[in-house]
């Protein structure tokens, strides 16, 4: 017979993971609407790769396969990675990145619960470092490719006769801004390009809103805590607003930074990954703020257009340290100190 407590909430790890997966559905739908079925292809490729790799690794580690495949964590890693990768990326890119994420980001550290880094971000970082060219070609929102053409492009890199590469892909708004800003071209002027939509990129800004919707669902379900997303978005928005105030010529404002790139995906789905983030409330605030600052710094001053992955990985390194120094005082600890002092 087991020991106490004999009552337990029926929530399991799978429940948590599948809630997060469910929260991604609006963003997936929006992505498909904006970028086409390529997104679904990427998701499917990533999912299959993740599950196969996970199963092989579990078997190699002599760990029961079924319960760990069913927990949904590998699937979540796959989906998060697929949503951060270019929707029209070549098929092997997502496969390699996912396999790398599962093997090196998760299983080699001991599997579920033991990875110090966010596995999806490990895979993304590998891809952007190793295959910068393939990663740079982002699909044009509401592009000219039909569903079938998208499949042909992803799997065989074949384009319909009347189209060129430039017609179907472009740089992301962040990339575009970074390369076009100059002493004779202000941020505002650059952002007048139709690529930028209303806030952070035509089409992709709607995906960002979908991420927010999913995030709110997770907050409501108490799957994630408010601390990390609020701290990250707050820090990023604040620093962007301050820089914009200081020099509006070079620095775009807070709304753009919040809506652009992977900001919202990171804020609600990446930094809230419990395994690689601190646990205490204060720790989560520090962690989120750190990611926010790093995202801005790398985006604006660094060599990469977007920075969520690197910022998250850098803060992951700091997680044990943050945890150690933000342990909340235990019940009555303040009183104990006071009494000891008075003695």
Q: Residue numbers of the site for other proteins (CB under 8 A)?
A: 1-13, 15-16, 62-64, 67-68, 71, 73, 111-114, 225, 274-275, 277, 279-280, 323, 327-336, 339
Q: Which residue's CB is nearer to other proteins, number 151 or number 281?
A: 281
State the nearest-atom distance from the C-beta of 219 to other proteins, in Å: 14
Q: How many CA atoms lie within 13 A of 157 on its CB side?
A: 8
Q: Are 66 and 97 in contact (CB under 8 A)?
A: no
Q: Which residue's CB is nearer to other proteins, number 64 or number 183?
A: 64
Q: How many CB atoms lie within 10 A of CB 216?
A: 13
To 10 degrees, the CA torsion angle through 292, 86, 119, 224?
50
Q: Residue 337 belongs to what H/E stretch?
A: helix 333-342
Distances in Å between the alpha carbon of 253 and those of 198, 242, 300, 311?
13, 8, 12, 20
Q: How many CB atoms lie within 10 A of CB 44?
A: 13
State the nearest-atom distance from the C-beta of 278 to other proteins, in Å: 9
| Euclidean distance between CA atoms 308 and 112, whole angstroms | 22
State the nearest-atom distance from the C-beta of 115 to other proteins, in Å: 10
State the nearest-atom distance from the C-beta of 105 to other proteins, in Å: 15
To 10 degrees, the CA torsion angle through 103, 106, 107, 111?
-160
Q: How many CB atoms lie within 10 A of CB 157?
A: 10
State the nearest-atom distance from the C-beta of 138 to other proteins, in Å: 32
State the nearest-atom distance from the C-beta of 182 to other proteins, in Å: 45
Q: Residue 308 belongs to what H/E stretch?
A: helix 308-325
Q: Which residue's CB is nearer to other proteins, number 15 or number 134?
A: 15
Q: Which residue's CB is nearer to other proteins, number 166 or number 340?
A: 340
Q: Which residue's CB is nearer to other proteins, number 164 or number 330?
A: 330
Nearest Cα to 299, choosing from 137, 199, 131, 172?
172
Q: Which residue's CB is nearer to other proteins, number 113 or number 144?
A: 113
């Amino acid at each position: 017979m087991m020991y106490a407590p004999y009552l337990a909430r029926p929530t399991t790890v799978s429940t948590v993971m599948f809630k997060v997966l469910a929260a991604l559905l609006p963003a997936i739908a929006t992505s498909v609407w904006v970028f086409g079925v390529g997104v679904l292809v990427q998701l499917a490729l990533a999912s299959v790769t993740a599950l196969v790799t996970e199963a092989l690794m579990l078997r190699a580690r002599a760990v029961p396969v079924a319960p760990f495949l069913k927990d949904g964590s590998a699937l979540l890693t796959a989906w998060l990675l697929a949503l951060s990768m270019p929707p029209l990326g070549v098929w092997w890119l997502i496969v390699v990145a996912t396999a790398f994420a599962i093997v090196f980001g998760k299983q080699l550290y001991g599997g579920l619960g033991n990875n110090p880094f966010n596995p999806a971000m490990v895979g993304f970082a590998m891809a952007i470092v190793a295959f910068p060219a393939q990663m740079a070609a982002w699909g044009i929102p509401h592009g000219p490719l039909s569903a079938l053409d998208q499949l042909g492009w992803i799997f065989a890199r074949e384009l319909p006769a009347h189209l060129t590469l430039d017609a179907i892909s472009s740089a992301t708004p962040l990339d575009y801004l970074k390369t076009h800003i100059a002493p004779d071209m202000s941020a505002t002027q650059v952002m007048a390009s139709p690529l930028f939509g209303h806030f952070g990129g035509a089409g992709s800004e709607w995906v960002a809103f979908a991420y927010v919707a999913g995030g709110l669902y997770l907050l409501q379900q108490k799957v994630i805590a408010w601390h990390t997303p609020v701290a990250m978005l707050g820090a990023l928005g604040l620093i962007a607003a301050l820089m914009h105030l200081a020099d509006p010529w070079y620095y775009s404002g807070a709304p753009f930074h919040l809506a652009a790139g992977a900001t919202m995906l990171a804020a609600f789905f990446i930094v809230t990954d419990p395994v690689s983030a601190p646990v205490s409330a204060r720790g989560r605030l520090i962690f989120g703020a750190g990611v926010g600052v790093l995202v801005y710094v790398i985006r604006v001053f660094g060599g990469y257009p977007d920075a969520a992955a690197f910022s998250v990985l850098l803060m992951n390194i700091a997680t044990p340290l943050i945890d150690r120094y933000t342990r909340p005082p235990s019940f009555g600890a303040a009183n104990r100190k006071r009494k000891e002092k008075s003695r």
